Amino acid sequence: MSALAQAARAPAQSQGEPALKVVGLNKSFGGLKATSDVSFEIAEGTVTALIGPNGAGKTTVFNLITNLFRADTGDVYLYGQRIKDLPPRRIAELGLIRTFQSARVFPGMTVMENILVGRHRLIRTGAPAHLFWLPAARREERQLADRAQALLELVELSRFRDVHAADLPMGAQKLLEVVRALMAQPRLLLLDEPAAGLNDTETAELAALLRAIRESGITVLVVEHNMSLVMNVADRIVVLETGSVIASGTPDEIQKNQRVITAYLGAEVAA
């Protein structure tokens, strides 16, 4: 078993169901239609990329999936369970964990403390056990700290474990946010532009991490503008334009899709 699989240990998945099924999501803000009949499925154990030009509705789709925004119509299913009307906290408890466009670290807290924030849904011992620091609580704390340390070592951030997270460079903060999400043992991980602000070396490290996440059995949906990263990591790609799905398929199929080339990828992929 890989180091990531040992540290993240995603729970067993439901058999025969897609990890995520999005059906006919529609959302309007006043007179502006942000999404129009957005539908797609994500297979278990894959990396799917959601791409499109600025304003295409990618982050809105993320917010609808996690119910930060309430869809006007449509449904969302996580391993066959309808989650559309569930509160975001309940959705996270079911194993759908997300990050945001901007790196969100907790100021005044170290790197290790930031990662341990992700453990909240894993705590099994009750408040009295922690209040009186009973043996069960101590064992659980050690286990979670060991898991956090393993994840830090995996992304080569262990040397920063006692550094204030806000003092890290942007690339390291982005990796830290992904690691904090992994600490929650997601069944499905949603990453919103994880490569934004990263240099080439950091992007290569992120690509290796995404592959490792997939190999550990965790399913990933990623919004990303870096086409090199998308084409080298994604198993399938869903393309949005003005709030609608205009194409979906493998990276090779998307690169050859004339509508996608015209709408978004342009001369870069054509070349």
Distance of alpha carbon 134 from alpha carbon 141, whole angstroms: 11
Q: Which of 18-22, 110-114, 128-132, 173-177 has the lowest mean pLDDT?
A: 128-132
At residue 269, the pLDDT reads: 44
- Residue at 24 is within a domain: yes
Closest C-alpha among 63, 72, 59, 58 to residue 25: 72
Averaged confidence pLDDT in the chain: 86
Q: Does the residue 56 lie in any domain?
A: yes
Asked if the structure places residue 206 within a domain, the reply is: yes
The answer to the question of residue 195 being in a domain is yes
**pLDDT, tens digit, 9 for 90 and up, residues 203-219:** 998 999 999 999 999 99
Q: What is the pLDDT of residue 267?
A: 45
The residue whose two tokens read 């040397």 is 159
Other Cβ atoms closer than 10 A to 52: 24
Q: Which residue has the higher pLDDT, 31 or 141?
A: 31
User: Within a domain: residue 63?
Assistant: yes
105-109, 122-126, 136-140: least confident range: 122-126
| Pairing of β 219-223 and β 47-51 | parallel
Quote the pTM value. 0.86
CB 193 within 8 A of CB 225: yes
Residue 95, domain extent: 3-105+183-270
What CATH number should be reported for the domain holding residue 217?
Answer: 3.40.50.300
- Crossing angle of helices 170-183 and 200-215, rounded to 10°: 10
pLDDT value of residue 126: 52
Per-residue pLDDT of 226-251, as tens digits, reads 999 999 999 999 999 999 999 999 99
Question: Is 189 inside any structural domain?
Answer: yes
Q: Establish if 243 belongs to a structural domain.
A: yes
Instruction: Look at the chain and report how many structural domains it folds into.
Output: 1
257: number of Cβ within 10 Å: 20
20 found inside a domain: yes
The predicted pLDDT at position 141 comes to 76
Handedness of CA 44, 222, 47, 105 (dihedral sign): negative
Cα separation, 34 vs 26, in Å, equals 8
